Amino acid sequence: MPEPENEELMTTHGRCPVVHFDHNSQDHSADPVASYRALRESAPVAWTSAHGGYWVLSDYASVFDAARDDAVFSSARNSSGGEGLTVVIPKTPMHLHIPIEIDPPDFRKYRNVINPIAAPAAVERQLARIEHYTTWFVDQVIESGECDFAQIIGVPSIVTIDWLGLPVEDWRRYSSAHHAVLAAVRESREWIQATTVDFPYVSQQMRDTIAARRAEPRDDAISYLVQQQVDGRSLTDEEVFSMVELLIAGGVGTTASLVSQTLVWLFEHQDVRGRLIQQPELLERAVEEFLRYFSPTQALARTVAQDTEFHGCPMRTGERVLLAWSSANRDAADFERPDEIDIERWPNRHAAFGVGVHRCAGSHFGRAMAKSLLGQILERMPDYTIDLSQVERYPHQGTNTGFQRIPARFTPGQRRLANTELGFASPSGRGRA
């Protein structure tokens, strides 16, 4: 629980409270909602000395204001607080990600490249692919009457890999590599496997695919990217790599987390599950509420780019700042009964996809995948039960929340696809990008 620290630190940070808080600690992971509530109610803008020191913003107003001010709260790669991905604390060793680690004005050029392939109309063209892989995954387990929901939700990973034009049979390596880097315990077996084996393997495969598509474009998203221009020149292979890696990192774990947390909650709230089964049209708004309530991306970071006074706190150039989207989403000043799920809540201006120019580029994709998965599971496994004594949460809840094991049982059903092979051939012949 956050508590004021000693006098000396209080003076160092002016009038602003110094708290014992570490979003990566086991204490916080035990109950992130309570931990953030205590912080938000006592010190919504506070300094902690964890990880070399950072500001933590936990009410909606401060998260919103910081996320909208790129001139002061920079996302650009820098060396404050070490080397590595700049939007997480502590920084994690990772290749530059574009456009999330670029500030305006250059940011806009790269975001303009991504927007057309992630816009609602583009996602509409991918619905058959999404639905196909959801069906394929459910088919794998539907006859047996039992499964681990944490596995079945590999759909976001496989859809993203296939959409990009990477080999679908390697989807597990992509998802475990990206997941472990952000959610596994540092130096654990899973983390070492991810950083020393899987990451180098998938990185090389991405580089090879980028080079191959440049030589001979196909109809996938990587082929689209290698043909785009910024400042009147083609994107380099390095830039394309930075975008592809971010598209995988951004979409795979987040959507899986949203669906897994929702499935567990719906097991515990059979009345709401019944309503969604009876009235699937409610799923649209319900997904927004699940996004708010579960906030799969809990918090991301910025770096102060110029000395400033922010919400009464003096912030200095180079200081790191954590923006807690999840805590903003539970702020009673902005959401009535914030700790309750109301599947018809509207309007619902949640910050689960971020706020400001870096707001999630894949939000339409994420929503479409979540709706497809939840829709099919509720339709084909309507009576599923979960053994709550056996569910396992990610050991860390600091950046991504979610479950790594969800043992479930249901009345067996029938497969839908005649072909049990993994690939997807667009029936309309339309491409991926």
Q: Give the binding site for ligand HEM (CB under 6 A).
A: 75, 87, 99-100, 111, 160, 246-247, 250-251, 254-255, 258, 296-297, 300, 325, 352-354, 358, 360-362, 365-366
CB of 246 to ligand HEM, least distance (A): 5
User: Cβ closer to ligand HEM: 310 or 365?
Assistant: 365
CB of 166 to ligand HEM, least distance (A): 13
User: Cβ closer to ligand HEM: 165 or 251?
Assistant: 251
Q: E-assigned strands of 137-190? A: 146-148
User: Cβ closer to ligand HEM: 352 or 433?
Assistant: 352
Reported for 278-283, long-range contacts at CB under 8 A and 24+ positions apart, including other chains, are 280/375, 280/378, 280/379, 282/343, 282/344, 283/371, 283/374, 283/375
User: Cβ closer to ligand HEM: 141 or 328?
Assistant: 328
CB atoms within 10 A of CB 404: 18
Instruction: Identify whether the C-beta of residue 183 lies closer than 8 Å to the C-beta of residue 175.
Output: no
CB of 7 to ligand HEM, least distance (A): 34
Judged by DSSP in three states, 318 sits in coil
CB of 1 to ligand HEM, least distance (A): 25
Instruction: Identify whether the C-beta of residue 67 lies closer than 8 Å to the C-beta of residue 323.
Output: yes
Q: Could you give the CA distance from residue 173 to residue 194 in angstroms, rounded to a whole number?
A: 8
Query: What six digits make up the tokens of 63?
Result: 């998260």
Indicate left, alpha or beta for 367 from its phi (over 0: left) and psi (-120 to 50: alpha): alpha
User: Cβ closer to ligand HEM: 81 or 296?
Assistant: 296
Q: Could you give the CA distance from residue 115 to residue 118 in angstroms, rounded to a whole number?
A: 5
Q: What secondary structure, in 3-state letters, does 50-84 show?
A: HHHCEEEECCHHHHHHHHCCCCCEECCCCCCCCCC
CB of 415 to ligand HEM, least distance (A): 27
CB of 401 to ligand HEM, least distance (A): 10
User: Cβ closer to ligand HEM: 136 or 290?
Assistant: 290
CB of 87 to ligand HEM, least distance (A): 5
Specify which residues 386 forms β-bridges with. Answer: 408
CB of 349 to ligand HEM, least distance (A): 14
User: Cβ closer to ligand HEM: 66 or 381?
Assistant: 66
User: Cβ closer to ligand HEM: 100 or 142?
Assistant: 100
Judged by DSSP in three states, 233 sits in strand
Which helix (H) or strand (E) element contains residue 38?
helix 32-42
